[in-house]
Amino acid sequence: MHIITFANRKGGVGKTTSALAIAHRLAQLGYQTLLIDADPQGNASSTIAELPAVPGSLAAALDTGGGLRSQLNSAAPNLYCITAGEDLTRQEKLLGQEMDYGWFFRNILQDLAAALAGSPGPAAGLPALPAQLDFVLIDTSPYLGTLAVSAMVASEAVFIPLQPNFFNSEGLTKVVEMVGVIRRNFNPNLRIGGIFFTKYARTYRKALHHQYARALEADPVLGKLVMQQTIRENVALDESQAGQQAIYDWAPSSNGATDYRALTDEFLTRLHIPDAT
């Protein structure tokens, strides 16, 4: 089970859009995928149409301590989700008061893996699940709080979406520093899986953006982490979210769908995982 966190200490960089698009693409490729919305804004949750009237949520798992199995929602073939909402803000604050809060996601995901392996059949009132999950993608909030830290402690890699400009570059620095702290103190296997540019293409006529992109690519440490594929500006991405559909269903030939297919391929390559096709 590959646990991956999407993070940036800056809003509006396409973090949720990217987590959603990659999750949907992994599911299309046949990977059993769980998307966890760990952002109290609940943006990822609001884009998924196939949810029960009272969906399971991360806040409920924190409140009851009953684990994730009873909070899973079926979102699409091969894709499951744990939703978030404003009630997660309070639960995150309470979690932060616990001495072992950093291990929350690691422990609860280990328990979920054990529950799936021990009971692969459907339980009453719950969606049918496979005996194991291939991917868990965690979408975090921009402020790198308790849940974001815990997500990184549980993860093998962090992927960082970035618009190449001054403010977003500062956000990148904070994430890199946080990854270093977590590697030293909690998870020595954590790494930055990749940094990818959003709302950007190397053919755009935005000189200042190119300047920041080139500076990052020339960095002796971070440059090798910059992914080749970029995500161009594309209104179809916003439209698909408003329509509560995956970009590949809403506008399969759009730039957004094309870019995220290619980005997912590169995502798998960087994780040394073969394409399911």
Over the stretch 216-241, which tens digit does the pLDDT of each residue have?
999 999 999 999 999 999 999 999 99
pTM: 0.93
228 CB neighbour count, 10 Å cutoff: 12
Over the stretch 67-110, which tens digit does the pLDDT of each residue have?
898 898 989 999 999 999 889 999 999 999 998 999 999 999 99
> Phi then psi for 157, rounded to 5 degrees?
-155, 150
How far apart are the C-alpha atoms of 68 and 72, rounded to whole Å?
Answer: 6
Q: pLDDT > 90: what percent of the chain?
A: 69
Please compute the mean of the pLDDT values over residues 113-127 and round it to a whole number.
72
Between CA 120 and CA 132, with CA 126 as vertex, the angle to 5 degrees is: 30
Query: If you write DSSP's letter for every residue of 233-263 in order, what string do you get?
Result: --HHHHHHHHTTS-HHHH-TTSHHHHHHHHH
- Is it the case that residue 191 has pLDDT exceeding 60? yes
Angle at which helix 15-28 crosses helix 235-242, to 10 degrees, equals: 80
CB 150 within 8 A of CB 18: no
**Exposed e or buried b per residue across 181-218, where buried means at least 16 C-beta atoms within 10 angstroms of its C-beta:** ebeeebbeebebbbbbbbbbeeeeeeeebeebbeebee
